[in-house]
Amino acid sequence: MNSNQKSSKSLYDIFFDVCIIGGGASGLAAAISVMEKNPTLKVCIVEKKEELGKKLLATGNGRCNITNSSCTDYEVVKDFLNNSGIVLKEEEHGRMYPQSGQAASVLELLKWRVKKLNVTTFTNCQVLSVIKIEEEGFKVNIDCANEKVIIPCKKIILACGGKSGPQFGTTGDGYGIAKTFGHTLSRIYPVLVPLECEGVEKSLKGIRVKGKATLLKNEQPIVEETGEIQFTADGLSGICIFNLSRYIKLELDDYTTLDEAFKQYSIELDFLPEMEDEEVIEFLKDRRYLMSEMPTEIYLASIINMKLGEQIIGEALEDKISTIGNITYKGIEEIAMLLKSSRYVVTGAKGWKEAQCTGGGIILDEVNLETMESKISEGIYFAGELLDYDAPCGGFNLHNAWLTGIKAGRGVAEALTQKMVIGE
Ligand SMILES: Cc1cc2nc3c(=O)[nH]c(=O)nc-3n(C[C@H](O)[C@H](O)[C@H](O)COP(=O)(O)OP(=O)(O)OC[C@H]3O[C@@H](n4cnc5c(N)ncnc54)[C@H](O)[C@@H]3O)c2cc1C
């Protein structure tokens, strides 16, 4: 156990007004928001990992795509972040990052804010269960480094995330706790994941390109994304692919295996989305003339990644042709086709460890979305990814965590402050 409050009291003797379970994005936002509204309240965060906010450090490839300016209630989140000293910078498509480009700076500022507001934090402490004691509030059962302790409190904010990225502490514990209070869990599944695909050359692993990716089901296009695409050892990754992965809905029945269900989907990549097919052919013809004496393998150099270019040329031209001037019209058509519509059959998707978000969760109908309080069990509030909400890459998932954390914090503080006024 590790507390920022230097106290000799055992946890049994400490009574908290609010116990926040989970010290990630939504838990930190909730703690700060309770204290902003009523600094006299006693608030604690219980965090399973040895540090608060471990997942935050990994967000946006360490840069933290913190929110998106197109989000509903963007100003609420922006004010919250600014008040914590976080300076924002806008990039394309409304994506907001800390000016520093460092996720670590975001976490550092939030941790300081929490400390300054006198929130007690317990790290290395896993909440095992929560029991409601009528009239009194709750008892939170915790395993603190193999020591079983209980925290009594008036209100609970469940902010322990979903199941994505279990290496950051999120192993779905909140779902079980919510269920004990009568809540319903919709089917959960990993989203924003890399896809495993047939036909991706291993040698392309690690290559990142800009392009358009289209998801097809049974040869019919479903959705397309333009942006970064990354080749992996066994498939495709990158923001475009993560976003497309949200649309793969496997229909399994007695006659369809998992493998068959995945293979109904394929990804088509267009490496030159700004050019029409005909334009590419004309361009390649001109280039054949310009570079006629040069070796074939550099035909696409400076147009797309060199390694990818060589791979496309190798695949398009059946016979080895040494100089560009000898490439036939048919060869040019083949190269153009691979540049505009390389097709890869989906064979699988990566699991929880590589997922950036959880699809499904605690159903929203059972929660008051203004205060985030349970409609089923008074005194229990929800925030973050454990709710049935997920969004594409672009800062939307962190936005949801901040916003629901702010609402839950304010909702709890409001309820407790009213009780104080009434004198309960
Ligand atoms: C690699 C990666 C990159 C991402 N990048 C982005 C991005 O750039 N932009 C974006 O918008 N979204 C991003 N996301 C998604 C985003 O990080 C999450 O949606 C968001 O952090 C969810 O916030 P949360 O508070 O609900 O959960 P978390 O931030 O996951 O926090 C939950 C906390 O609860 C703790 N906990 C769990 N169970 C218990 C328990 N029983 N007792 C005590 N504590 C417990 C966990 O240890 C964890 O610290 C990314 C996700 C990943 C995995």
Please indicate whether residue 58, judged by its CB atom, sits closer than 6 Å to ligand 1.
yes
Please indicate whether residue 29, judged by its CB atom, sits closer than 6 Å to ligand 1.
no
The atom of ligand 1 lying closest to the CA of 58 is: 1
Residue 281 and residue 334: Cα distance in Å, rounded?
9
Token pair recorded at residue 119: 């929130």
The atom of ligand 1 lying closest to the CA of 142 is: 42
Q: Is the per-residue pLDDT at 423 higher than 70?
A: no
70, 88, 71: which is closest to 79 by C-alpha? 88
Residue 319's pLDDT band, with cuts at 50, 70 and 90, is confident
Residue 194's pLDDT band, with cuts at 50, 70 and 90, is very high
Say if CB 28 and CB 22 are below 8 A apart.
Answer: no
> In 3-state terms, what secondary structure has residue 109?
helix
| Range 328-349 average pLDDT | 96
pLDDT score, position 12: 55
* DSSP string for residues in 285-310: HHHHHHTTTSBGGGTTBTTB-HHHHH
What is the tens place of the pLDDT at every residue in 298-312?
A: 999 999 999 999 999
Token pair recorded at residue 239: 């923001």
Say if CB 93 and CB 396 are below 8 A apart.
Answer: no
Mean pLDDT of the chain: 93
pLDDT score, position 179: 97
- Residue 252 Cα to ligand 1 midpoint, Å, equals 30
Please indicate whether residue 188, judged by its CB atom, sits closer than 6 Å to ligand 1.
no
The upper half-sphere exposure of residue 182, i.e. CA atoms within 13 Å in the direction of its Cβ, equals: 10
Q: Using a CB cutoff of 8 Å and minimum separation of 24, what contacts does 85-91 make? A: 85/109, 85/112, 85/113, 86/110
What is the tens place of the pLDDT at every residue in 61-91?
A: 999 999 999 999 999 999 999 999 999 999 9
Please indicate whether residue 359, judged by its CB atom, sits closer than 6 Å to ligand 1.
no
Please indicate whether residue 159, judged by its CB atom, sits closer than 6 Å to ligand 1.
yes
What is the tens place of the pLDDT at every residue in 263-318?
A: 999 999 999 999 999 999 999 999 999 999 999 999 999 999 999 999 999 999 97
Please indicate whether residue 396, judged by its CB atom, sits closer than 6 Å to ligand 1.
yes
Residue 300 and residue 114: Cα distance in Å, rounded?
53
pLDDT score, position 326: 94
Helices and strands counted in the chain (H then E): 11, 19
Q: Residue 117 to residues 40, 203, 204, 360: CA-CA distances in angstroms? A: 10, 52, 50, 33
The atom of ligand 1 lying closest to the CA of 67 is: 11
- The 10 Å CB-count burial string (b at 16+, else e) for 107-143 is bebbbebbeeeebbbbbebbbeebebeeeebbebebe
Please indicate whether residue 55, judged by its CB atom, sits closer than 6 Å to ligand 1.
yes
Give, to the nearest 10 degrees, the angle between helix 25-37 and helix 103-116: 30
pLDDT score, position 356: 96
- Residue 268 Cα to ligand 1 midpoint, Å, equals 31
> By mean pLDDT, which of 270-279, 400-409, 413-422 is the weakest?
413-422
Say if CB 235 and CB 196 are below 8 A apart.
Answer: yes
pTM above 0.85, yes or no: yes
pLDDT score, position 224: 97
| Range 346-351 average pLDDT | 94
- The protein residue whose alpha carbon is closest to atom 41 in ligand 1 is 127
| Range 155-164 average pLDDT | 98
Q: Is the per-residue pLDDT at 8 higher than 50?
A: no
pLDDT score, position 255: 77
The atom of ligand 1 lying closest to the CA of 125 is: 43
Catalogue all structural domains in the chain, each as residue range(s) with its CATH number.
2-190+359-422 (3.50.50.60), 194-350 (no CATH)
Please indicate whether residue 25, judged by its CB atom, sits closer than 6 Å to ligand 1.
yes
